[in-house]
Amino acid sequence: MGTDRAVAVFGAYGHTGRFVVAELRARGLRPVLVGRDPDKLKALAYGGEPYGTGASGTTACATAERASGAYATPPDIRTASVHDPASIGRALDGAAAVINCAGPFATTAAPVIEAALRAGIPCLDVAAEIEANLDTFAHYAERAREAEALIVPAMAFFGGLGDLLATAAMGDWTAADEVHVAYGLSSWHPTAGTRTAGAVSRERRGDGRRIRFTGGRLEHREDAPPTLEWRFPEPLGPRTVIGEFTMADVVTVPSHLVVPEVRTYMTAGAARDLAAPETPAPAAVDGRGRSDQTFLVDVVVRSGGAERRFVARGQDIYAVTAPLVVEAVERVLTGRTRAVGVASAGEMFDAPDFLRALSPHITVEQLSP
């Protein structure tokens, strides 16, 4: 793949968008910076910091890029808004693919996908919003398949990584009884985008209602989610978790795997962090702009009396989304795909091979055959 391949990043100056831009450049791809605010785009392109640093980790991220020579040739800057569809079309001109990093995805996913379909290029996003991902599958599956287009939603820590792990764990099984995805986060300092996306999701489903996937379908519930103990592998060990802390995996996993029960869990401390309005945004602790947050994703697939288990470990759920989605873009642009239309990570790619490719960023271990 040539180094001149341009990849548009919508929401490039956001917290996750900055990591994605840096990862694209590190891999020899040419990012096209797309967003609403021209000043923030210019600041990202030339290494300035006009709108706050430190707490969001942007200073360290930008400093690392400047030190590595990332700004020697500033990337293209293109202003676009979801309220002006033509502007998105212009922003994608000449791009080989687009990555949507701009939430809330309930607002941005459809306009960006529409522009990608018109441009005839693949579209990937990093949406963790359950409803936004459901909309993508529901509204674009047929159109994308007929157009032989590639759309990969939730190509991120939530939705993408769990799906890859579950798919790898399935192996030669054609169906399973249960998939459990337990998130062991040391803490969770949410970005402003995460808080906004969460508010949009709660508004869409109604205050107080939550979602779970059971009996092969999504259902809304008004009771509180259960609190229970999950035995994570060492060194994390047994931890109190919020059961049915439902994430995008309940959309991605059953979109292509035959499994009637998909449950996701979150360590109680991280859930409290997320819920507390006073929890600050993530702060950088290294030259790559990553926070000190660590994660362990424990995926258990059960069929009959058999169980298969995969575990992934790493640092910073926002930063690790960048290698996930950029690895996906590289595979799309080089034809290493297994599906057409709208497909999740586990269906679109060779899951075990994809996970191996993430080894510089994520440690993956198979704990049971």
Domain with CATH 3.40.50.720 in the chain: 6-156+322-348
Rounded-to-10 torsion of CA 324, 328, 330, 331:
140
Residue 71 has pLDDT above 60, yes or no: no
Q: According to CATH, what is the number of the domain 158-317+360-368? A: 3.30.360
Which tokens hold the place of 306?
């058999």
Q: According to CATH, what is the number of the domain 6-156+322-348? A: 3.40.50.720
Domain with CATH 3.30.360 in the chain: 158-317+360-368
* 8 A C-beta contact, residue 80 and residue 37: no
Which tokens hold the place of 107?
């607002």
* 8 A C-beta contact, residue 152 and residue 254: no
pLDDT digits (tens, 9 = 90+) for 246-293: 999 999 999 999 999 999 999 999 999 999 999 999 999 999 999 999
In DSSP notation, 100-135 reads E--S-HHHHHHHHHHHHHHHT--EEE----HHHHHH
Average pLDDT across the chain, whole number: 92
pLDDT digits (tens, 9 = 90+) for 156-208: 999 999 999 999 999 999 999 999 999 999 999 999 999 999 999 988 887 66
Q: What are phi and psi of 218, to 5 degrees?
A: -85, 140
Which of helix, strand or coil describes residue 304?
coil
Return the pLDDT at 202: 87
Residue 336, CA distances (Å) to 144, 163, 330 in order: 18, 18, 8
| Mean predicted confidence (pLDDT) in 20-31 | 96
- For 313, the enclosing helix (H) or strand (E) is strand 306-315
Separation CA 224–CA 243 (nearest Å): 10
Strand partners, 301: 179, 308
Place of tokens 């990849």: 7
Give Rg (Cα) of the chain: 19
Separation CA 113–CA 214 (nearest Å): 29
Quickly state the pLDDT bin for 103 (edges 50, 70, 90): very high
Return the pLDDT at 47: 77
